């Protein structure tokens, strides 16, 4: 878990190296060690979990930042869909091609040094108003939830940057910030809902 947090935060310069040791047993008292090397980390994990399982997480997972590094979105089925899920192979292929185009552009940017994304003043002002409102409205929540709310503005900032990059911009504009704030607001409501359930 600590390694995942380090990857997410970019605390080290890649490549990331870790030594893993197999589980000790009577038949293998000295298990072999394995070196894991991650040259270009890209932390993207999509997880579905039942609230009951979230409730079983350790307090340190909540307040220590592991769960806070995840953007929580609560999904509730509002209607029964009697037809099986439909596949959109053409749409998925177009999306994969678009993502590949963005990735190729980023990898080639300044000889692989990466793209630094700036922010325009009006987008920053909108973000600051929303983040301050969030802080004022959620300051008295229980410690578990407060930890999630404190990291939510950082998620919104990252999402706004991703939106900007997906539009081939090198700075966050209002058309990227507003949808990111809306997603952040939806996550805020989700956190409140999860808090009620737990």
CA-CA-CA-CA torsion for 23, 67, 70, 140, nearest 10 degrees?
A: -170
How far is 55 from 198, CA to CA, in rounded Å? 6
Residues 70-95: pLDDT tens digits?
A: 888 988 877 787 787 788 899 999 99
Residue 47: both structure tokens together: 């997880």
Residues 109-131: pLDDT tens digits?
A: 766 666 788 999 999 999 999 99
Contact 120, 34 (CB under 8 A): no
Which residue has tokens 């037809």?
A: 83
Higher per-residue pLDDT: 174 or 40: 174
Higher per-residue pLDDT: 80 or 96: 96
- Predicted confidence at residue 136, as pLDDT, reads 92
């Amino acid at each position: 878990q600590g390694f995942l947090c380090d990857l997410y935060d970019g605390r080290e310069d890649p490549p990331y190296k870790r030594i893993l040791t197999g589980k000790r047993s009577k038949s293998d008292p000295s298990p072999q060690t394995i070196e894991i090397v991650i040259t270009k980390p890209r932390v993207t994990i999509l997880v579905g979990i039942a609230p009951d399982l979230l409730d079983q997480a350790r307090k340190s997972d909540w307040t220590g930042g592991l769960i806070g590094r995840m953007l929580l979105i609560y999904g509730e089925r509002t209607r029964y869909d009697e037809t099986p899920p439909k596949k959109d192979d053409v749409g998925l292929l177009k999306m994969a091609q678009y993502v590949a185009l963005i990735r190729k552009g980023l990898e080639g940017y300044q000889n692989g040094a990466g793209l630094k994304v700036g922010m325009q003043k009006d987008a920053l002002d909108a973000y600051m108003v929303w983040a301050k409102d969030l802080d004022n409205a959620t300051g008295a929540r229980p410690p578990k939830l407060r930890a999630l709310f404190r990291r939510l503005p950082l998620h919104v900032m990252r999402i706004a940057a991703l939106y900007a990059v997906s539009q081939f911009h090198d700075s966050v504009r209002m058309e990227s910030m507003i949808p990111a704030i809306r997603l952040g607001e939806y996550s805020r409501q989700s956190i409140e809902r999860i808090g009620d359930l737990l």
